[in-house]
Structure 1
Amino acid sequence: MANDNKYIPALRFPEFQNDGEWKMVYGDELFEPIVNKNHDSDLPILAITQDNGAIPRDDINYNVIVSDKSIQGYKIVEIGDFIISLRSFQGGIEYSRYKGLCSPAYIILRKRFNEVCDDFYRYYFKSYKYIQDLNRNIEGIRDGKMISYKQFSGIKIPFPRFTEQQKIADCFVSIDKEIDATKRKLEQLKEYKNGLMQRLFPAKGKTTPELRFPDFQNDGEWRTMLLGEITSVVNRRNKSNRSLPIYSINNTDGFVPQSQQFIGMDSEARGYDISAYKIIGKHTFAYNPARINVGSIGYSGELKDILISSLYVCFKTADDVDDNFLMCFFNSYI
């Protein structure tokens, strides 16, 4: 965002092109700490989360028993307040859309005047740049420790004029609305797909599907066969201890690199014997017998020469079997 040591955004709406650089101010110039414990404990208790900000615990099934005496010491959070949480150095500063109570361990921030746009700072305080600034300016922060108001105040934050704050905030809000609409559409499509799968595959104990494409209406019953009749086992071991990418299988994504499945495990810098691992080529199915009940089966598709644990059972289909059809069947609830 800095341009020739001036704080000017690289991308700017046309009406602000000639406004010059943004003013930079310390956090305490815009936000003050608030401690208000004057309540009758009848407000909802808020959970301070990285994904949803401050949200009533009941809305996310956050079941923590708190004594009435403890609640008396809780702070009131107003709509529009920001909260410094125990993990702000990882996920930024949280925002509250609710009035409620939060633990006295949290620091509540409230804007000092109306020219501070809530949504602008709601996005800025969760930005990668601001989180970098938090970590750069703060030493010794670890889980269980809180960023203090003094430390928050020691970081400069942008303060463009209110109209530009609002314009930027409106842009991000509209994008979030599109994201939410896309997520809802995706969930609807998933439900539609699951419904079709129940009807396009024969129900348990049946030999014909409830729903059938017109050109197959008169084809009669489906044949049933044992999986072993249309597949062959793949058991190629990595005897030469080749250094190949290691994959695992989960019940949502199928084959995934082991470094993604188990964060921090670098499959290229391993120090253990992989000669017993299995080498997987294209168009191969694999599953862990211990997890097949939760649908942990994968299909390698075009992946070639990868390794998976010897615990997996691997197989290929006969030439007259459509792999995609079989994978859809495995993913159905039939």
Structure 2
Amino acid sequence: MNKIKNKLVPELRFPAFEDDGEWDYFYGNKLFKTVSNKNHNSELPILAITQDQGAIPREEINYHVSVSKKSVEGYKVVEVGDFIISLRSFQGGIEYSNHLGICSPAYIILRRKKKNLLNLFYKQYFKTDVFISHLNKNLEGIRDGKMVSYKQFSEIKIPQPQTQEQQKIADCIASLDELILGFIEKLEALKRHKRGLMQNLFPQDGLNVPNYRFAEFKNDKEWEKTTLGKITNVISNKNKDNKNLPVYSINNKDGFLPQSEQFDDMNSKRRGYDISLYKIIEKNTFAYNPARINVGSIGYSGNLNNILISSLYVCFKTENIVDDKFLNQYLETPYFLKLVNRNTEGGIRSYLFYKNFSKITISLPSMQEQQKIATCLTSMDDLISAQQNKIAQIEQHKKGLLQGLFPKVN
């Protein structure tokens, strides 16, 4: 039989449909077919299949992979409204395309069989936790490097409520998506504004004054050149007493982040590393990995106290002539990255050891001006963080709605 015997209703339902009864369920191949149209002139845009933006032209996300003209001839045509099974579908669901284009023949393209199936309804459903869990049930051990097959998709039970209810659910979630997009655009505007401030508040290309100075400092002298070695001191507080402290690493985006795995109390080991070799980080400490140095990759512990970090990291504190928050902002500027690149050493992988880090020349204004700049930029960071939190809250709200608006079928 085409129709699945068990019927279900969602936990959350719009009042107009409360008396409509249970949803019908069908196997995937009864609702969607697989298509493989290679009849094109190769002039259509090549689509990248992403988890966060679905199918999108590569040039819109600066995704550049060289492919020969001959190989492009074998690419499949993707139409607006098609769904694509990717190598990562077992993690993030099935992707949707708002674009006409072509994609690698490695992908599986799905297209609805019935007119009363609304693409935007299934765009949301194919990204729900309940559907992704069904994908994983059918995989049984298949992971990276292996594709969910059409046969496996065909064995999954997929809902088909009445068209009007599909539309109502799709419209509801789409309105949240628009709200999230608006918040994301505002977030990007805040980040651009901060980048502009940083370009103007710090001297560029070896100059001794920035493009912009706050009014109270316009008549002050030029910033004084110094080296990082003169204003910082390396620290190496090894965990010789095997203290079982929380372990952190540094993320380019978020600075110090706790690691999920902690040391075992019994043997003081984690993945073969000796806890006594890890460094204890106190408040107001900077740290970076010499092999992974770029903008934002130097973390600042701030108020974090008595945590552990790998012995691979270079850790340092500052002298009293520099404000920590000012230096933290300075180390995130693109201009500082240029200075870093001039002082790295090594072959295929470049390293910035402290001996070279200490030679980097920067310019410092008075302590008062440092603090003014730091206050300005950290206030921007607060706005950016608040905006990120708003996005996270709305996304969590959307996730809760998706869980309630779609039945949980076994």
Instruction: Give TM class, smaller chain.
Output: 0.7 to 0.9
What CA distance in whole angstroms lies between the structure 2 residues aligned with 1:328 and 1:312? 20
Residue 241 of structure 2 aligns to a residue in which SS? coil
SS at match of 2:273: coil
1:255-309 CA-partner distances (Å, limit 9, x unpaired): 22345xxxxxx33351321212210111212234454555531110121211122
Deviations 1:56-97 (A, max 9, x none): 4454534242453x5555443322122233443233222222
2:124 corresponding residue in structure 1: 123
Identity of aligned residues (%): 61
Shift of 1:24: 2.0
Q: 1:274 to 1:215 in 2, by over 3 A?
A: same
C-alpha contact 2:248 2:257 (8 A) present in aligned 1: yes
Q: 1:317 to 1:42 in 2, by over 3 A?
A: closer
Q: Any conservation in 1 of the 2:121–2:166 contact (CA below 8 Å)?
A: yes
Tell me the equivalent position of 1:82: 83
**Partner residue, 1:24:** 25
1:318 positional shift: 4.4
How far, CA to CA, are the matches of 2:305 and 2:217 in structure 1? Answer: 35
Amino acid at match of 1:129: V
Shift of 1:243: 2.3
Query: 1:160 Cα shift?
Result: 1.6
| Residue from 63, 79, 83 that aligns with 1:61 | 63
Give the whole-Å Cα distance in 2 for the aligned partners of 1:210 and 1:42: 46
Instruction: Decide whether the 8 Å contact of 2:202 with 2:330 is kept in 1.
Output: yes
Cα pair 1:47 1:62 within 8 Å, conserved: no
CA distance in structure 2 between the partners assigned to 1:194 and 1:291 by the alignment: 22
Tell me the equivalent position of 2:166.
165
Deviations 1:124-164 (A, max 9, x none): 11222101011113435344443333322221112121122
The alignment partner of 1:210 has SS state of coil
Contact 1:254 1:297 (C-alpha < 8 Å) held by counterparts:
yes
Q: Is the 8 A contact 2:48 2:63 kept in 1?
A: no
Residue 247 of structure 2 is matched in structure 1 by 246
Shift of 1:327: 1.2
Could you tell me which amino acid in structure 1 is paired with residue 242 of structure 2? Answer: N
The code of the aligned residue for 2:136 comes to N
* Structure 2: gaps spanning 5 or more residues: 1-5, 265-269, 337-410
Deviations 1:38-64 (Å, cap 9, x if unpaired)? 445554444434333333445453424
* Residue type at the aligned position of 1:181: G
The alpha carbon displacement at 1:180 in A equals 2.4
Contact kept, 8 Å, 2:86 with 2:107, in 1: the verdict is yes
- The aligned counterpart of 2:380 is none
**TM-score w.r.t. length of structure 2:** 0.68
Q: What is the Cα-based RMSD across aligned positions, in Å? A: 3.0
Q: Structure 1 residues 103, 20: CA separation in 2 closer, same or farther (over 3 Å shift)?
A: same
- 1:263 paired residue number: none
Q: What's the CA shift string for 1:200-248, capped at 9, x where partnerless? A: 2344555444323333444444455554555444322111122222222
Match of 2:306 in 1: 305
* 2:326 aligned residue: 325
Amino acid in the other structure paired with 1:98: H
Q: CA deviation at 1:27?
A: 1.6
3-state DSSP of counterpart to 2:111 = strand
Following superposition of structure 1 onto structure 2, how do residues 258-269 of structure 1 map, counting pairs within 5 Å?
258-259=259-260, 266-269=261-264
**1:329 Cα deviation from its structure 2 partner:** 2.1
Q: Per chain length, whose mean CA-contact separation is higher, i.e. which structure has more relative contact order (CA < 8 Å, sep 6+)?
A: 2
In the alignment, the residues of structure 2 paired with residue 281 and residue 199 of structure 1 have an alpha-carbon distance, to the nearest angstrom, of: 32
2:75–2:103 contact (8 Å) kept in structure 1: yes
- Residue segments in structure 1 that go unaligned for 5+ positions in a row: 260-265
**What is the letter of the counterpart of residue 137 of structure 1?**
N
- Higher helix residue share: 2
Give the residue type in structure 1 aligned to 2:298.
I
Secondary structure of the residue aligned to 2:276 is coil
Partners of 2:58 and 2:203 lie apart in 1 by 43
Separation in 1, partners of 2:199, 2:46 = 42
Per the alignment, in what secondary structure is the counterpart of residue 179 of structure 1? helix
Other structure's SS at 1:29 match = helix
| Aligned residues of 2:7 and 2:25 also touching (Cα < 8 A) | no
In terms of mean alpha carbon deviation, does 316-325 or 168-177 score higher? Answer: 316-325
In structure 1, what is the equivalent of residue 201 of structure 2? 200
State the 1:194 CA deviation.
Answer: 2.0
